[in-house]
Amino acid sequence: MAIAFTFPGQGSQAVGMGKDLADTFVESRRIFEEVDDALGENLSKLIWEGPEETLTLTANAQPALMAVSLAAIRALEARGFSLNGKVTYVAGHSLGEYSALAAAGFVSVADAARLLRIRGNAMQAAVPAGEGAMAAIIGLEQADVEAACAEAAQGAAKDPAQALVCQIANDNGGGQLVISGARPAVELAARLCTEKGAKRALMLQVSAPFHSALMKPAAEIMREALAAVTKSAPVVPLVSNVTVTPTSDPDEIARRLVEQVIGRVRWRETVEWFGSNGVVTLYEVGAGKVLSGLARRINRDIATSSIGSAAEVEMALAALGDHVA
């Protein structure tokens, strides 16, 4: 009867997220203050008041989403809940791995905020604006998408001997794959996927080609940044995006976080792994309900629930049997 806590990634952000938690629980408000202090700016004001276009910037959205997730965790803990002994695994979608690891004690909240700011800036700076792209491919088998990426990497290159980068970045489940790489190759791959029978091939409004080989400069920056922070074994094992296996070893986790910058987010396989290893309930901790929706499409036998508001904190505590009067 295992329980998994999962933490959302970029795209789940919304102006006003976490305000209810901060207004209800002093412990949640302290998380936002801690993140503000770590970054040396009033990120909380941006999270709660916008503007949306500034909050959506990668360097802001990443620490902001982590702050909301940790605000929910602190609200649970303030009422007597502990991950240790109650939660079997944690996982996060892309940046959500940092939220999961901060919740489980791998790094401090302040270090997680600083790491995500570094990560966001590094990913943004890795490729000149306009040169990279991402596209969502709906309703096409993975093998066909991979074939389209390989064909486009060659077909869009000015020199056939110098193939462009084009690869699957996210396997989100429910028939949704995201491809990433050099813009000409991604645009061609999207057209090829349509020709192969995809229901939709939608170019995404993103600022960089995340989770592709073009992110190598960002991966090296994260390698140095992770080496510089204090790390501890998490109290709950992390199921990694890139390997879909659990680990509590700090050095291995750091290596996987570096690999994750250029590697595929294997979310479908993660949820399938949960189902094969006794997980009966998946909680999405933080902003939005994206991961809950994906999980329902991947494995309907796993119950899903969200913890992103004060009311949801109370419902989760009651369901988990740890409500403290």
Q: Are residues 81 and 221 in the same domain?
A: yes
Choosing from 168, 187, 206, the residue where a domain stops is: 206
Note whether 147 and 121 are same-domain residues: no
Rounded to the nearest angstrom, the gap between the alpha carbon of residue 143 and the centroid of all alpha carbons in its chain is 24
Indicate whether 119 and 180 sit together in one domain: no
The residues annotated as belonging to the active site are 94, 211
Query: In 3-state terms, what secondary structure has residue 269?
Result: helix
Q: Is the pLDDT of residue 323 over 50?
A: no
Do 17 and 112 have their domain in common?
A: yes
Tens of pLDDT, residue by residue over 202-218, are 999 888 999 999 999 99
pLDDT of residue 325: 35
pLDDT higher than threshold 50 for residue 290:
yes
pLDDT score recorded for residue 160: 73
Kindly report the backbone phi and psi dihedral angles of residue 198, in degrees, each rounded to the nearest multiple of 5, phi listed first.
Answer: -60, 140
Q: Both 29 and 102 in a single domain? A: yes
In sequence order, what are the residues at sequence separation of 6 or more whose Cβ sits closer than 8 angstroms to the Cβ of residue 200? 136, 137, 138, 139
Say if residue 324's pLDDT is above 70: no
Same domain membership, residue 156 and residue 17: no
Average pLDDT over residues 42-50: 98
pLDDT tens column, 60-116: 999 999 999 999 999 999 999 999 989 999 999 999 999 999 999 999 999 999 999
The answer to whether residues 74 and 158 belong to one domain is: no
- The residues that bridge with 7 in the sheet, in sequence order, are 92
**Confidence class for position 51, pLDDT limits 50, 70, 90:** very high
pTM of the full structure: 0.96
Q: Of 307, 290, 312, 300, nearest to 93 (Cα)?
A: 290
Percentage of the chain beyond pLDDT 70 is: 99
CA angle, residues 83, 88, 94, in degrees to nearest 5: 85
Residue 109 belongs to domain with CATH number: 3.40.366.10
Asked if residue 325 belongs to a domain, the reply is: no
pLDDT band with cut points at 50, 70 and 90 for residue 46: very high
Residues 84, 177 within the same domain: no
Q: Which of 301, 286, 305 has the alpha carbon at shortest distance from 69?
A: 286
Q: Is residue 221 part of a domain?
A: yes
Domain, as residue range, for 182 = 136-206
Closest CA to 299 of 277, 274, 319: 274
Give strand ranges (E) for the chain.
2-7, 89-92, 132-138, 166-173, 176-182, 200-203, 238-239, 246-247, 279-285, 303-307
Cα 257 to the chain's mean position, in Å? 11
CATH assignment at residue 173:
3.30.70.250
- Same domain? For 48 and 175 the reply is no
Do 119 and 233 fall within a single domain? yes
